[in-house]
Chain A
Amino acid sequence: MTNNGQFREGVKDALPVVLGYLPVGMAFGLLARNAGMTPSEAGLMSFLVYAGASQFLAIEMIYKGMTWLPIVSATFFINLRHFLMSSNLSLYFKKTRLPVLGFLSAQLTDESFAVAISNLPKVKNSPPYVFGLQITSHLAWVIGSIGGALFGPFIKISEYGLPFALPSLFICLLVFQLKSVRHYGIMVVAGVSSLFFKWALQGNWYILLAALLAGGIGAVIEIINGKEKTGADRQEGDGKQGQSSKLKAQRKTLRKCLEFEAQRRISRSRIEL
């Protein structure tokens, strides 16, 4: 696919995220305005920081009159969870130049990560796809924020099921990940431990801790059970150098057929269940 085609594909896949970001961005803009920020400040923060939870916390702290140091440190800890997401995505950008990586990673969010990992064949070594996905989501966030700051009081952002757009997105993408019994096990471990960590600890540590715990358990199980191939490995499999492009194309087609067949079997076995 051409760069342009990949980019457009990314824009298209971002639309469910846009549906969630516009109302949440508006809520942010509205609250930022209430906390004494101007619409341009709210817009600038959404453009440069682009991290939902931290921004909501920041305006609350600004409202309470706190200075930059506690706000910036709180932001740092909330966003440490992206460390794990960035590590995971790094597997698929071996051939990408550093400045491009800087650009891509600056726009990494929970939502764009979730969409990206559900479309790995499109993501692999394809910055234009990820760029299209992320710039569209980012724009929705910035436009929502400025819109909320300007017109917030006149818009009903909690109507039409909009508060459930992002939860739906995450649930659906989680379902797409559940490819084996082991994945269900990981889901239960991560889910239950995240509840515990959120209940036991202040702040946003629960995502990082639960993911490390469950991911770690998964890794141990994989190692004990030997070299069974995971999804990530299958995607990585064609990375050897010196292959002709024709061979690569053939492999791609073969892989698509295999994936299709696997999908078909999965859905059939589910019906039988």
Chain B
Amino acid sequence: MREETLAIIFGMAVVTFLPRFLPMAFLTRWVVPERVKMGLGYVPTAILSAIVFPILFFNDGGKVAIQPLYLLSAVSVFIFSWKVKRLWASVILGMLVYWGLGFLM
């Protein structure tokens, strides 16, 4: 392996590790006040929404776009997982709908 590539890989490994590790290391050793805990309570919903929405409304090139294939598949998964509450089934359904609609569109 080339040195330059190795330097890149190790450098990346260090800077990806720090934001993953430091909060765990410090916050687990600290008595978290109730208010901070309440604030963190909505973080999962917020993070997941902030990941999902841009996938649907931005195309691969990073431009704003209405993508009927993505939107219809997403709505199907949303309704299905709301009713059925099975992760596996929802993922498979999403893939099938996306695949199937791909032939129609």
| B-binding residues in A (CB < 8 A) | 13, 15-16, 19-20, 37-38, 40-41, 44-45, 48-51, 54-55, 58, 62, 67-68, 71-73, 75-76, 79-91, 93-94, 96, 98, 101-102, 104-106, 108, 110, 113-115, 117-118, 159-165, 167-178, 182-183, 186-195, 198-199, 206-207, 210-216, 218-219, 222-223, 227, 230-233, 236, 263, 267, 270
Interface size of B in residues (CB-CB distance below 8 Å): 75
B66 within 8 A of A: no
CB of A71 within 8 A of CB of B32, answer no
CB of B47 within 8 A of CB of A227, answer no
Provide the bound-state CA to CA distance between A221 and B74, in Å.
29
- The listed residue with most B CB atoms (<10 A of its CB), out of A101, A174, A223, is A174
Interface string of B82-94 (1 = CB under 8 A from A): 1101011011011
> Which residues of B are found within 8 Å of A105, using beta-carbon distances?
17, 20-21, 24-25
- The listed residue with most B CB atoms (<10 A of its CB), out of A83, A117, A191, is A191
CB of A87 within 8 A of CB of B23, answer yes
> Which residues of A are found within 8 Å of B102, using beta-carbon distances?
161
A17 to B: closest C-beta gap in Å: 9
CB of B87 within 8 A of CB of A16, answer yes
CB of B12 within 8 A of CB of A75, answer yes
Provide the bound-state CA to CA distance between A233 and B33, in Å.
11
B105 within 8 A of A: no
Cβ contact of B45, chosen from A38, A187, A193, cutoff 8 A: A187
Cβ contact of A171, chosen from B20, B34, B52, B57, cutoff 8 A: B52
> Which residues of A are found within 8 Å of B27, using beta-carbon distances?
87, 90-91
CB of A83 within 8 A of CB of B19, answer yes
> Which residues of A are found within 8 Å of B83, using beta-carbon distances?
270
B67 to A: closest C-beta gap in Å: 11
Knowing A169-B87, A211-B46, say if A161 contacts B40 (CB, 8 Å): no
CB of B34 within 8 A of CB of A58, answer no
> Which residues of A are found within 8 Å of B12, using beta-carbon distances?
45, 48-49, 51, 54-55, 58, 71-72, 75
Main secondary structure of the interface of A (DSSP, over half): helix
Cβ contact of B82, chosen from A82, A113, A175, cutoff 8 A: A175
Cβ contact of B42, chosen from A20, A80, A207, A215, cutoff 8 A: A215
CB of B21 within 8 A of CB of A106, answer yes
Provide the bound-state CA to CA distance between A79 and B47, in Å.
13
A30 to B: closest C-beta gap in Å: 15
CB of A113 within 8 A of CB of B47, answer yes
> Which residues of A are found within 8 Å of B47, using beta-carbon distances?
81, 84-85, 110, 113-114, 190, 207, 211
CB of B64 within 8 A of CB of A191, answer no
Interface string of B4-24 (1 = CB under 8 A from A): 110111111111111111111
Closest to B31 in A: A94
Provide the bound-state CA to CA distance between A173 and B38, in Å.
20
B104 within 8 A of A: no
Cβ contact of B50, chosen from A54, A115, A164, A214, cutoff 8 A: A214
> Which residues of A are found within 8 Å of B99, using beta-carbon distances?
159-161, 164
Provide the bound-state CA to CA distance between A162 and B48, in Å.
20
CB of A173 within 8 A of CB of B64, answer no
> Which residues of A are found within 8 Å of B20, using beta-carbon distances?
79, 82, 85-86, 105-106, 108
